[in-house]
Amino acid sequence: MFRLLLFVPLLWLSMAGPLTAADFDGPRQRLMEEIADLAQETAVETGRREFTPPVMAALGRVPRHRFVPQDQVPHAYKNRPLPIGHGQTISQPYIVALMTDLIDPRPNQRVLEIGTGSGYQAAVLAELVERVYSIEIIEPLAQEAAKRLREIGYANIETRAGDGYYGWEDAGPFDAILVTAAASHVPPPLIRQLKPGGRMVIPVGAHFMAQYLLLVEKKADGAITTRQILPVSFVPLTGGDKS
């Protein structure tokens, strides 16, 4: 179902000399077209035949090649996860689009992200909401992402190194929460930090096996509902209560 595009022209350019921003225009456009196609193909599972124009526009604006190691730059606009060091990955762009769309982001919202990684998902969110809070448990990644996001110009993202299982209590509650690593269960601290009417998207399941993306919604009266969306494969959420 999830096809991979081979961007031969980009690989040729990488051998011909340094890449410029314009060199990524074609691959980025093809990636956006593939994401749109996959949204239609997975509509039965996700309930979304297409992602909203603001989400797609945000994905198109964020320079994914700035969020991967130098040796991965030629692959930045392929629809697949890529290694970013420390055993972590930058998520597949289709999954980033899906998770972002599922929380229904609005310009006046405050969103918590668990698992900053290289900062890519945080950057996409920052294009759509008022403020993003992002936590990364691997300190070198947290430091690198904070520096990268500042250099690119994202002033509405606050990052910190810490255990995302427990959320960011003094900055909450949040309109939405995105978790970019697989947990064995939905962390209760994150449920508490979600506003009534808020949404959380989180992969839940064993390490790389039988994981499902869940949409968690907190109703106005505090009641919690969950819905399985798609089978996925994420790196495990570390820290916190594993029971």
- Listed by start position, the domains of the chain span 8-232
Task: Give the whole-angstrom CA distance, residue 219 versus residue 46.
Answer: 20
Amino acid identity, residue 160? R
Q: What is the residue-level pLDDT of the chain in tens, covering all 243 positions?
A: 333 333 333 443 444 456 666 788 899 999 999 999 999 999 999 999 999 999 999 999 999 999 999 999 999 999 999 999 999 999 999 999 999 999 999 999 999 999 999 999 999 999 999 999 999 999 999 999 999 999 999 999 999 999 999 999 999 999 999 999 999 999 999 999 999 999 999 999 976 568 999 999 999 999 999 999 999 989 888 887 644
| Annotation says 91 is catalytic | yes
Considering 91, 118, 184, 233, which one is annotated as catalytic?
A: 91
DSSP string spanning 77-109? TSSS-EEEETTEEEPPHHHHHHHHHHT---TT-
CATH code of the region 8-232: 3.40.50.150
Q: Is residue 10 within 8 Å of 27, Cβ to Cβ?
A: yes
Model pTM above 0.85:
yes
Closest of 105, 243, 232, 221 to residue 180, by C-alpha: 232
Task: Give the whole-angstrom CA distance, residue 168 versus residue 172.
Answer: 6
Closest of 114, 81, 106 to residue 95, by C-alpha: 81
Closest of 232, 203, 200, 238 to residue 219, by C-alpha: 200
